[in-house]
């Protein structure tokens, strides 16, 4: 029997998302999510997509090792376990690949050591990714495991965009530079946007706005990333669900010296208690819109700050690219929140941007244009699919090695 299945693992700091795909036709066989890992109220939700059956378990799951073993058990119950001879490979989302990894990479001890060396610049993400890799290798030592890096798509950024304006000797010693993240999504969405326009990716310039809980923008010139809004870590750039995005670095000195906060407290403040959540107590755009509709001023201000930052990046990437063929909205907010798209594009007619209110209001799962027919620059909604992209890259690499 040919091995044509790929299991994709996306380990976040407190979650594990997974999908099992059959790469003959990219069909999804199973998918699920373990949330609140490390808490008493962890939850595993598993769906067997071939039948639609969903199972849910709550109760403590101590760490990513236990989470992956629980997932393996659920897959086993559906006859889709990790011991299946049909499994060709496991593809891991690895958030930080530094400068070293520019391509999907078959994981060996050397690769693991390098991902480990990058922990200081990705303390929230790489440890969880490593646990997922180690547990998966222990469960199936014979199976190829592939790392697909969030940073890889951004390694084409020129030095002028990737470097911070600090002493290069200090920067190089501590690996301080702008790496960018969500690269798998930016790559996939920029390509799908070109396809929507009936063009080859090498023929178009696209601004991709990945607006999920984490959010980032990228400027993609003829298929290559030339700038992105996240930096050394996923804290820089846009206002996010719980992250501040850009701020004057002196705010940190001030909070330490005058606010009497420790570095760990400031880290938690900026990563977990800022952004939309810090501004108004909610990080879900649905809830924020509901509150705005009820006249809530705090929620309205949070929304305005979010939109103001987003507009600044759209403008900046017009300047970086010179000419823009399309602006593409993606991820949870970008794909679903019509009011965010409307507010982000409003007032940008000078850049050739406009929306059709009718098209913007359409709810659909496919890539679609939401700009009027005669618009100078296309505006699109393009659903991202990081799992499919990781599975495709994993399978392509493993096929080559077989």
Ligand X SMILES: Nc1ncnc2c1ncn2[C@@H]1O[C@H](COP(=O)(O)OP(=O)(O)O)[C@@H](O)[C@H]1O
- Among 153, 179, 181, 306, the residue binding ligand UVW under the rule CB under 6 A is 181
Residue 121 CA to residue 115 CA, distance in Å, equals: 10
- Among 337, 353, 378, 382, the residue binding ligand X under the rule CB under 6 A is 337
CB 41 within 8 A of CB 58: yes
Of 9, 42, 34, 38, nearest to 137 by C-alpha is: 9
User: Of 325 and 387, which has the nearer Cβ to Mg ion?
Assistant: 387
Residue 342 CA to residue 325 CA, distance in Å, equals: 18
The stretch near ligand UVW (CB under 6 A) out of 208-216, 279-287, 319-327, 370-378 is 208-216
Determine if residue 52 is labeled as part of a ligand binding site: no
- Among 98, 183, 231, 234, the residue binding ligand UVW under the rule CB under 6 A is 234
Helix, strand or coil for residue 10?
Answer: strand
Question: What tokens were used for 217?
Answer: 């923008």
Helix, strand or coil for residue 128?
Answer: helix
The stretch near ligand UVW (CB under 6 A) out of 29-37, 54-62, 209-217, 339-347 is 209-217
- Among 212, 223, 278, 334, the residue binding Mg ion under the rule CB under 5 A is 212
| Active-site residue, selected from the candidate residues 150, 282, 325, 385 | 150
DSSP secondary structure code for residue 349 in this structure: G
- Among 133, 332, 353, 360, the residue binding ligand X under the rule CB under 6 A is 332
Enumerate residues 6+ apart whose C-beta is below 8 A from 26. Answer: 388, 391, 392
Site for ligand UVW in 150-179 (CB under 6 A): 150
Does position 278 interact with ligand X (CB under 6 A)? The reply is no
Does position 236 interact with ligand UVW (CB under 6 A)? The reply is no
The stretch near Mg ion (CB under 5 A) out of 97-105, 153-161, 211-219, 280-288 is 211-219
Helix, strand or coil for residue 380?
Answer: strand
* Cα distance between the two ends of the chain: 15
User: Of 333 and 379, which has the nearer Cβ to ligand X?
Assistant: 333
Instruction: Please indicate whether residue 150 is annotated as part of the active site.
Output: yes
Question: What tokens were used for 130?
Answer: 């490593």
Determine if residue 28 is labeled as part of a ligand binding site: no
Residue 63 CA to residue 373 CA, distance in Å, equals: 51
Give, in order, the Cα–Cα distances in Å from 42 to each of 37, 38, 64, 340.
Answer: 5, 7, 11, 31
Strands 326-330 and 224-228: unpaired
Closest residue to ligand X, based on beta-carbon distance: 332
Minimum distance from CB of 51 to ligand UVW (Å)?
A: 28
Does position 34 interact with ligand X (CB under 6 A)? The reply is no
Residue 198 CA to residue 212 CA, distance in Å, equals: 27
Minimum distance from CB of 253 to ligand UVW (Å)?
A: 25
Determine if residue 334 is labeled as part of a ligand binding site: yes
Residues with a known catalytic role: 150
| Interface with ligand X (CB under 6 A) | 212-214, 241, 283-286, 331-333, 336-337
| Interface with Mg ion (CB under 5 A) | 212
| Interface with ligand UVW (CB under 6 A) | 12, 95, 150, 181-182, 212-214, 234
């Amino acid at each position: 029997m040919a091995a044509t299945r790929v299991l994709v693992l996306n380990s976040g700091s407190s979650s594990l998302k997974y999908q099992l795909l059959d790469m003959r036709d990219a069909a999804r066989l199973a998918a699920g999510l373990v949330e609140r890992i490390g808490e008493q109220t962890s939850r595993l939700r598993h769906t067997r997509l071939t039948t639609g059956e969903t199972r849910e378990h709550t109760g403590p799951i101590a760490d990513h090792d236990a989470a992956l073993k629980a997932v393996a058990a659920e897959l086993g119950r559906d006859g889709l376990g990790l011991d299946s001879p049909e499994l060709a490979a496991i593809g891991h989302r690895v958030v930080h690949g530094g400068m070293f990894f520019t391509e999907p990479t078959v994981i060996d001890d050397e690769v693991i050591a390098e991902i480990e060396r990058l922990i200081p610049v990705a303390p929230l993400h790489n440890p969880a990714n490593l646990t997922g890799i180690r547990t998966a290798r222990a469960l199936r030592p014979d199976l190829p495991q592939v790392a697909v890096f969030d940073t890889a798509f951004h390694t084409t950024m020129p030095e002028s965009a990737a470097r911070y304006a600090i002493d290069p000797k200090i920067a190089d010693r501590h690996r301080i530079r702008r790496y960018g993240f969500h690269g798998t999504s930016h790559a996939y969405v920029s390509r799908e946007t070109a396809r929507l326009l009936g063009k080859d990716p090498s023929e178009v310039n696209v601004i991709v706005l990945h607006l999920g809980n984490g959010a980032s923008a990228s400027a993609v010139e003829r298929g290559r990333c030339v700038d992105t809004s996240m930096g050394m870590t996923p804290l820089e750039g846009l206002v996010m669900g719980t992250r501040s995005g850009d701020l004057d670095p002196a705010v940190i000195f001030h909070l330490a010296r005058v606010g009497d906060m420790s570095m760990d407290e400031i880290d938690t403040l900026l990563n977990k208690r800022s952004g939309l959540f810090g501004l108004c107590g909610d990080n879900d755009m649905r809830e924020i819109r509901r509150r705005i509709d009820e006249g809530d001023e705090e929620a309205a201000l949070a929304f305005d700050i979010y939109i103001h930052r987003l507009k600044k990046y759209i403008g900046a990437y017009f300047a970086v690219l010179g000419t823009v063929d399309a602006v593409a909205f993606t991820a949870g907010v970008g794909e679903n929140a019509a009011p965010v798209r409307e507010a982000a594009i409003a007032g940008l007619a000078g850049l050739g941007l406009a929306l059709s209110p009718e098209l913007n209001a359409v709810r659909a799962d496919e890539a679609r244009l939401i700009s009027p027919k005669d618009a100078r620059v296309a505006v699109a909604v393009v659903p991202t699919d990081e799992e499919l992209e990781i599975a495709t890259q994993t399978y392509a690499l493993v096929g080559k090695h077989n």
